[in-house]
């Protein structure tokens, strides 16, 4: 991953983390092309239709901007299994054994390809989040269509 894309990752993850501190849980995408555009959606975590609509709108904006790169991040619950990581929609319920709150991200650069990663976090007894730094996944990643930013990625590279 090049420096420009990593800067987008730290920017968008930081924006999601700040929203979590304020008890908001949006999906945020930063599109970088002829100019930079930031989009957010608070309904993203509420179902497949909201996810599809937001990523489709983001793809339309990315095409208009002639986007060369993007980073997409959203809060999710991650479970570590023997076969890899499984992410699912964020909720405010107590965590189950093996679950980890995280900001999950997808980064794409037209020249360098795609990277996936996360910024796990825990909570103090008073509920305040304590964030780890963003990092790429060390495990093989085969994201499904429901993984944050994958629909956006498919819509952009299909052209």
103-141 per-position pLDDT tens digit: 999 999 999 999 999 999 998 988 899 999 999 876 555
**What is the predicted pLDDT for the residue at 73?**
96
Region label for 138, one of left (φ > 0), alpha (ψ between -120 and 50) or beta (otherwise): alpha
Per-residue confidence band for 142, with pLDDT thresholds at 50, 70 and 90: low
In angstroms, what CA-CA distances link 16 with 23, 66, 71, 83, 110?
A: 10, 24, 12, 28, 24
The structure tokens listed for 113 are 């390809």
| pLDDT for residue 78 is more than 90 | no
Per-residue confidence band for 157, with pLDDT thresholds at 50, 70 and 90: confident
**What is the predicted pLDDT for the residue at 68?**
95
Q: Picking from 69-83, 112-126, 141-155, which range would have the lowest pLDDT averaged per residue?
A: 141-155
Per-residue confidence band for 81, with pLDDT thresholds at 50, 70 and 90: confident
- The rounded distance, in Å, linking the Cα atoms of 123 and 49 is 30
Q: Give the mean pLDDT of 6-21.
A: 96
89-106 per-position pLDDT tens digit: 777 777 888 888 999 999
pTM, 2 dp: 0.90
Q: Give me the percent of the chain exceeding a pLDDT of 70.
A: 91
Residue 13's nearest CA partner among 74, 67, 91 is 74
Residues spanned by the domain of 130? 3-157
Number of domains in the chain: 1
**What is the predicted pLDDT for the residue at 138?**
64
Looking at 29-139, list the stretches that DSSP marks H as alpha helix, in order from N- to C-terminal side.
48-65
């Amino acid at each position: 991953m090049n420096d420009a894309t990593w800067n987008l990752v730290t920017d968008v993850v930081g924006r999601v983390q700040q929203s979590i501190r304020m008890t908001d849980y949006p999906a945020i995408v930063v599109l970088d092309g002829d100019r930079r555009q930031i989009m957010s959606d608070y309904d993203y975590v509420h179902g497949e239709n909201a996810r599809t609509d937001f990523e489709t709108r983001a793809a339309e904006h990315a095409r208009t901007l002639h986007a060369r790169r993007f980073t997409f991040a959203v809060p999710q619950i991650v479970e570590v299994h023997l076969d890899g990581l499984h992410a699912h929609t964020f909720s405010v319920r107590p965590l189950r054994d093996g679950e980890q709150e995280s900001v999950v991200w997808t980064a794409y650069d037209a020249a360098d390809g795609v990277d996936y990663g996360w910024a796990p976090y825990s909570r103090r007894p008073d509920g305040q989040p304590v964030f780890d730094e963003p990092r790429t996944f060390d495990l093989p990643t085969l994201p499904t269509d429901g993984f944050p930013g994958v629909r956006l990625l498919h819509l952009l590279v299909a052209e």
